[in-house]
Every structure is written in structure tokens, then in C-alpha cells.
Amino acid sequence: MNTKHNTQSQYRQGWSLDERDPKFIASLMPYWKWFYKYYFRVKTDGWHHIPEKGPLLLVGSHNGGLASPDTSMMMYDWFSRFGIERPAYGLMHQSIWTINPSAANFAVQVGAVRAHSRMGIAALKRGASVLVYPGGAQDVFRPYTNRHKIELAGRKGFLKLALREKSPIIPVISVGAHETLIILGDCYQQAKQMNEWGILPWLFNVDPEVFPLYLGLPWGIGIGPLPNFPLPVAIHTRVCPPIIFKRYGREAASDRFYVDACYELVRSQMQQHLDQLVIDSKN
């Protein structure tokens, strides 16, 4: 028996766009629908900003720990509106394949690929859309007091991808999802010290970037970037107007000062949209 081939079949590696499985996605839709309608009671708007065809770079700020319920609810909306056959790929942190290969196996069948520029480029060139959450762990585990703050963590790879491939950026945001897991704070420095003392020798085999302290299911009080089950909080998602830059192409993507300016433009516009969504959600 070819053990290597068997392992790759069981735990997909995320380096191919062809690992996405429309039949598997279809089998999930009834379950997503129940969570969408009854558990999270999702309200959504702004979908008219998505054109009927063509590749797009969707840039989001996600919430609620590893469960990230606004991400799955956004994907449910996408498939409900545009059909399962219209592909959208999500760039997923490569550490997931080490931390939780079963979760990675599940995610790639829905459309997750490795968070690497080559995968983003391949998807856009194929005519598919790409969903990226630049803030990563710092975003999804940001403290509750920062729940209404856009956190992109200074990462600009998504901008270089958009500029190089001449793709507009469409922000996707939400409120409510960050309250499905109450992040009290980040204990990363304390956990790092404990690791140096030999108390948490496993921690830095895969650097988690954050080490949150939180309230939520199923742990009650939990610590560390562990899987969680989201609390049943209402979520409001919004697709924002596209952001178009003045310059595109390889030269623009290589211009550090221009990339920095584009980053600040995206961050500030996303923050403005999120501030407005917070107001709208209270009305």
C-alpha cells in the first residue's frame, strides 16, 4: 500500500484548486441553512456589489475564534445566491494542516487552499473569486473590547495579489459574530514564558501567534487557540462597495510606499463601513 498516497487522500493538502468538492458543499447546505435562519438569525445586505461573473478578491475581518461563524454564513450566502458551481476559494493559514488535519480536510472540500500567493493567483486566473482574512489569528482572537475594530495585522500580501492580478477588492464585514466567543485578552507573552520554563513544551512547535483567554462553549473559561462552539448570537453581515486603486500591475505591487498607501485606504474604508454597520445593526 502506498502510505503517502493514502495519507494525502485522507487529508487533502490544499495545494490544488481541484480539491474543492461541489457535492460535499451541497450536502452541507441544509445544515448551514438551519444555523443561518435559526441559530445565528443572519441579516445580510450589500450583495448587489458582487457582479454576476468574473474573479474578485473578497477581503474580510473575521470573528469568533476558530469557529469563525461569520465566514461560514458568508459562504452559505454566496452559494445560495450564485450557485455551488461558481467557485470561491478561501486562503487558509498553513498551520491548520499541522494543528488539525481533519479540519483542513473538511475545509479544502469546501474551497479552502493554502494561504500562499501562488494559490491566490491560480484561483483568480481560473476566473474564481478568492476570500482572504489578512488579520489571521490576531483578528479572529482580538479582545472583545476591539470587536468593532478592523484588524489586518499589518499584512499586505493580499494587496500585492490584487495589484498584480488587477483585481478590485470587495470588503466583507460583520457584527455579532465576535460575541459568539468572548475574548477577554491575550496571554501570548505569559504562554511564551511558560514554554521557556518547559510547562508548555508543545506550544511553539506551531507558533499560534496569539494565546487567548476567553468565555465560551464548550470550555466555559478557555485558554489557548482551541476549537470552540459559537454562542447563538445574531449576526449581521455586509458586502461593501468595491475598492478600486489608481495603479495596477507588477510595478505597482513592487512599490512599497504605494502598497502601504493602498493598505491604509483599505483599512480605513473597512473601518468606516464597520462603524456604519454597528449603527445600522442597532436600529
- Assigned C-alpha cell, 129: 473569486
* Bridge partners for 174 per DSSP: 237
* Bridge partners for 60 per DSSP: 172
pLDDT tens for the chain, residues 1 to 283: 444 444 444 457 889 999 999 999 999 999 999 999 999 999 999 999 999 888 999 999 999 988 999 999 999 999 999 999 999 999 998 877 777 788 888 899 999 999 999 999 999 999 999 999 999 889 999 999 999 999 999 999 999 999 999 999 999 999 999 999 999 988 767 666 666 655 554 454 445 678 888 999 988 998 877 788 999 999 999 999 999 999 999 999 999 999 999 999 999 999 999 999 999 998 8
Please report, for the chain, the start and end positions of each structural domain, with discontinuous segments joined by +. 13-182+232-282
End-to-end CA distance of the chain, in Å? Answer: 61
How far apart, in whole angstroms, are the C-alpha atoms of residue 241 and residue 168?
Answer: 10
- Decide the pairing of beta strands 43-45 and 129-132: unpaired
CATH number for 13-182+232-282: choose from 3.40.1130, 3.40.50, 1.10.1060, 1.10.3470.
3.40.1130
| Predicted model pTM | 0.88
How far apart, in whole angstroms, are the C-alpha atoms of residue 162 and residue 178?
Answer: 27
| Cβ atoms of residues 63 and 174 within 8 Å | yes
How far apart, in whole angstroms, are the C-alpha atoms of residue 242 and residue 272?
Answer: 14
